[in-house]
Amino acid sequence: MGTIWIREFTGGLDTRKLAETSKGGTLVQAVDGHINRGGEFEQRAAFVPVYTLPKGTVGLAFTKAGPTVFGSIPDPGVPNGVNYQRLQHPDGATELVAVRSFDLFSGKIFAVGTFADGDIYQFYDGKRVTNYGTNTAVVPGSPVRTFGRKLYYLTGPNLIYSNLADPTNFDADSGTKLPDGTTTDVSAPDADGKTTKTETTRKTNADGTVTITVVVTKPDGSVTTTTSTEPAPTTGVGAGFNDLSEEDYGSEDLTAIGRYQNYLAIFSDRTVQVRYMDPDPALSKGIQSLHNTGTISPRSVTEFGDTDLFYLDASGLRSLKARDASNAAVSTDIGSAIDVLLTDFVAQQSAEDVQNAIGVIEPRDGRFWLAIGDTIFVFSYFPAAKVSAWTIYKPGFKVEEIIVYKRRVYLRSGDQIYVYGGLGAELLYDDTEAVAWLPYLDGDRPTETKTLQGIDAAVRGSWRVDIGMDPAQVEASDKIGVVTETTFMANRIPASHQATHFSLRFRSDGRYLPNKPAVLGSAAITYSAESDKARS
């Protein structure tokens, strides 16, 4: 008698191998569930409809006051609990059709509105931004990002930024230039009470360039001096722009912007530039460029933890992270387990849906979500339990907008706003069918025919169990029975099928309790084989 014990599902969905060569602990289908902190497959919470919006609104943002939607008409009567912000075209009549990017600056919304005539305008706290100066390169664009007391955005090859503490002023000639002179900085005392002194001297030359001399006196008395010359500043301490196509190839059409540690990462479809941004634009500089990776999906760029920046690349889901203590960035294949599945899925979606892919961190358990159309790819990461697992949610609607507000995920589809798990203190669950298919397992005897004796499982809630036995016919399966409680102690489900490989398929039937999900903890396949008889 032999037993194949699948004790946990920490590998999650893994499509890198054939179903008959994938290892135990992974899944070949994992829909409407996720891997929990214990490595079990758990039914997802419900997507609860909470607000029905009137016609004439678009987008979804938030402030401290709550979720916010937008429109170009007077407030059409949004429901209580939702705020409305009116964004108007200069002609006062052209309809607002989308808000594709927003960020908060001093707690107020900076939004980019697209109108029916194709024009793009920027708004701060509902008022149209108009101060761009005379440089024709500085025009409204998106996406936008608040960073270091400035508002940054992209248009064409240009990274554009506002004056300090003023996201309505992008006029490069309006800032206050740093004066010539010397500034001194003294470090905190070291263990011996000694300090390091840094003296920085700025001198504007006759041709407008600036010579910067830095003298560092170390605790041991040694002195180092470095001198550099900056070009004549075209901006003050604040507003300005950088044409990144002048700094590296592949940056002619910038697409996305995200925070990478204390830097900004600027994306095109096939290039990432990591930049240090100083309050004085003359001191900002490029740190590193990465080629043959990038994104066309600006809202997929998502900070994950303290050191990772996730984004949707043409080859799958990627992460920008530090290679070593130097903090030099490297692109890693965090989505390798589902890259084949994800890239095939993306190829079947419209260009608009791919461009509108949205990344977000579900705050209760820290899961990363990547929403594309009507599908959400979910990454569960609990390193202490060795869980690094992908699964899929099918919410039953097309995801157009997502925000996180007060530790809840809000999603918009059409004129409906949903909240994952509802607005109560505990997550709500419904009758969503969670589906988990195990690989074709062979008990380390891939060529030997086995006679199935029965299956056991550790569960909460009710689960239908089917079994597949022919990798050449993946959709073919036979029903084994229904498990409503853990069977290891008794009540094994008997079966008498013969095959070399067995693939168990579990489908939940309802929730465990209104506030508790159905859970699949582990499973075991008991079988007999000719080699067992020979040994006895």
**pLDDT tens-place string over residues 242-274:** 999 999 999 999 999 999 989 999 999 999 999
Find residue 49's DSSP bridge partners: 418
One-letter amino acid at 471 equals P
Residue 72 CA, chain-centre distance (Å), reads 30
> Can you give the pLDDT at residue 218?
86
> Can you give the pLDDT at residue 533?
63
Q: How many other β-carbons are positioned within 10 Å of the β-carbon of residue 222?
A: 8
Indicate the SS3 state at residue 245: helix
Q: Which residues contact 233 (CB under 8 A, 6 or more apart)?
A: 177, 208, 210, 281, 282
One-letter amino acid at 467 equals I
For residue 139, give the DSSP letter: -
DSSP H/E element including 533: helix 530-535
3-state helix, strand, coil in the chain (%, to 5): 5, 45, 45
> Can you give the pLDDT at residue 422?
98
- Structure tokens of 485? 């409680």
> Which residue has 């589902």 as its token pair?
338
* Among candidate residues 215, 260, 208, the one with its CA nearest the CA of residue 234: 208
Indicate the SS3 state at residue 254: coil
Burial (CB count within 10 angstroms: exposed 0-12, middle 13-18, buried 19+), residue 5: middle
* Pairing verdict, β 96-105 and 83-86: unpaired
| C-beta separation of 82 from 418 below 8 A | no
Distance CA 509, CA 359 (A): 30
For residue 510, give the DSSP letter: S
* Pairing verdict, β 66-71 and 83-86: parallel
The string of DSSP letters for 286-322 reads: EEEEEES---S-GGG-EEETTTEEEEEETTEEEEEEE
DSSP H/E element including 33: strand 33-35
One-letter amino acid at 98 equals A
Q: Which residues contact 129 (CB under 8 A, 6 or more apart)?
A: 121, 122, 123, 140, 167, 168, 170
Distance CA 365, CA 368 (A): 9
Q: How many other β-carbons are positioned within 10 Å of the β-carbon of residue 214?
A: 13
Distance CA 71, CA 99 (A): 9
One pLDDT digit (tens) per residue for the chain, 536 residues: 799 999 999 999 999 999 999 999 999 999 999 999 999 999 999 999 999 999 999 999 999 999 999 999 999 999 999 999 999 999 999 999 999 999 999 999 999 999 999 999 999 999 999 999 988 989 999 999 999 999 999 999 999 999 999 999 999 877 655 668 888 877 766 666 677 888 889 888 887 788 989 998 988 889 999 998 876 654 446 899 999 999 999 999 999 999 998 999 999 999 999 999 988 888 899 999 999 999 999 999 999 988 899 999 999 999 999 877 666 788 899 999 999 999 999 999 999 999 999 999 999 999 999 999 999 999 999 999 999 999 999 999 999 999 999 999 999 999 999 999 999 999 999 999 999 999 999 999 999 999 999 999 999 999 999 999 999 999 999 999 999 999 998 889 998 889 999 999 999 999 999 999 999 999 999 999 877 765 55
> Can you give the pLDDT at residue 415?
99
> Can you give the pLDDT at residue 235?
44
| C-beta separation of 223 from 216 below 8 A | yes
